[in-house]
Amino acid sequence: MADQSTPGATSQDSPAAPSRDSSTAAGPRGHVPAGAGLSRRRLLGTAGATGLVLGAAGGAVGYAAAPSGAVPLTSLGSGRAMFHGKHQPGITDALQARGHLVAFDLAAGAGRKEAAALLRRWSATAERLMAGEAAASGDTDVARDAGPSSLTITFGFGHGFFDRTDLRERRPAALDPLPDFSADRLDKARSNGDLWVQIGADDALVAFHALRAIQKDAGGAARLRWQMNGFNRSPGATAHPMTARNLMGQIDGTRNPKPADPDFDRRVFVPEGGEPDWMAGGSYAVVRRIRMLLDDWEKLSRTAQEHVIGRRKSDGAPLSGGTETTPMDLEKTDAKGDLVVPVDAHARITRPDQNGGAAMLRRPFSYHDGFDADGVPDAGLLFICWQADPSRGFVPVQRKLDRGDALSRFVRHEASGLFAVPGGAAAGEYVGQRLLEG
């Protein structure tokens, strides 16, 4: 789960990176510098901060420019992502320490009118909470003492949403159901859904506060279908920013595409003038609950684990040599004439140049949901990947993995969803307004 197109990779452990396309004077790509426009809550949450600005210029998922030392914990609450912008938050922002994924189905009798009212409520709540403010009504005070803590809230629509709202003719072709894969052991009760919400924050209470507010705002318009909780390493937990590790102990996310790449927008976002028009600036999220069979994995020697992945466990460098970012030499052989990077190594199979250029932006969370009766951990990855078209991103890579990935013996896909995530809301708009009122 180490390379660019991997279903199951994590991004860099870095200070919170800003939303990519903000039109405000908020600082680099959408974050408000510490001390600018402080709400009362934000001021309380950042008292004693050292003045380091989270999301320094150049910050991005997987490759964030950052201070040379660890980020002081007292500064974590001051990170702020912007709700309004060309793209929704939670796509190009750096991984947060805590995440919640939740899906809803529209309630019986609810249609387009009720869906529009719900998205209007959710958008208003998201804007307030991401600014470190209380919910407009019925706030629980859970996050009273905290700053925004890089909170992001992202909304998407599932395949069934368009049937329920009588908008079938506006459903994107890219939202057609994913094909079946041999590694799938999917629980339908924990898959798909009419509406999907992704919540991330660098503080667990801030994230829970947002989850509770979103659930309460659903009211009678939508009912909960499933909910999953995830986590990542906290920013500042390492001596210097680095690519994160997954629960297998692997450095994971080395080749994630970067916003600075010339083809980044083309790969990740639907362009202006694309189809359908209401998805301009949006993206498609594939969500998979991937269980890691950790007991089996941990029985392997370190050398065997490295051959499964194709990279060194210590520093993420390819087995062909160099550092983490050194291009992998797929033709290099050892003294016996054997390939140094095995033919079924995960990092070899998932490379874009081995998949017709297929690429996706991965932004996952790890999860641990306890142990079964035999003491086996229910743990793994809440895999989330973003692409302009799943048929050119996730699908070809997963099909290739199905045909002979060495890692497949140690993972199991247990839930799945595909969601159309529209572009960001302009000031005065709510997410999805161009679809629901167009």
The DSSP output letter for 184 is: B
- Measuring CA to CA, which residue among 281, 103, 296, 132 is closest to residue 191? 103
Task: For residues 247-275, give the mean pLDDT.
Answer: 93
The rounded distance, in Å, linking the Cα atoms of 255 and 426 is 32
Q: Are strands 377-387 and 365-371 parallel, antiparallel or unpaired?
A: antiparallel
Give the pLDDT confidence score for residue 297 in this predicted structure: 98
Could you tell me how many residues make up the chain? Answer: 438
- Measuring CA to CA, which residue among 253, 247, 289, 366 is closest to residue 2? 253
- Measuring CA to CA, which residue among 350, 324, 333, 328 is closest to residue 402? 350
3-state secondary structure 337-348: CCECCCCCCHHH
Centroid of chain to Cα 85: 18
Instruction: For 352-401, give the DSSP string.
Output: GGGTTT---EE--EEEEEEE-TTS-EEEEEEEEEEES-GGGTHHHHHHHH
- pLDDT classification of 72: cutoffs 50, 70, 90: low
Give the pLDDT confidence score for residue 74 in this predicted structure: 64
- pLDDT classification of 49: cutoffs 50, 70, 90: very low
List the beta bridge partners of residue 419.
Answer: 285
List the beta bridge partners of residue 285.
Answer: 386, 419
CB 215 within 8 A of CB 226: no
Task: For residues 217-223, give the mean pLDDT.
Answer: 97
pLDDT above 90 as % of the chain:
75
Average pLDDT, the chain: 86
C-alpha dist (Å) from residue 121 to 103, 179, 222: 16, 34, 12
Residue 252 among the catalytic residues? yes
Alpha helices (runs of H) in 134-283, residue ranges in sequence order: 159-164, 204-218, 264-268
Give the pLDDT confidence score for residue 31 in this predicted structure: 44
Q: Which two tokens stand for residue 106?
A: 């529209």
Both ends of the chain: CA-CA distance in Å? 41
Task: For residues 20-49, give the mean pLDDT.
Answer: 39
Q: Which two tokens stand for residue 31?
A: 């974050």
Give the pLDDT confidence score for residue 242 in this predicted structure: 86
Stated as kind and residue range, the H or E segment containing 117 is helix 112-130
Burial group, residue 104, by CB count within 10 angstroms (0-12, 13-18, 19+): buried
Strands (E), 110-201: 152-157, 195-201
- Amino acid identity of residue 436, one-letter, is L
Per annotation, catalytic residue among 141, 252, 265, 372: 252
CB 202 within 8 A of CB 234: yes
Give the pLDDT confidence score for residue 3 in this predicted structure: 62
Residue 14 scores a pLDDT above 50: no
Task: For residues 184-188, give the mean pLDDT.
Answer: 97
Residue 62 scores a pLDDT above 70: no
Task: For residues 1-11, give the mean pLDDT.
Answer: 45
CB 83 within 8 A of CB 129: no
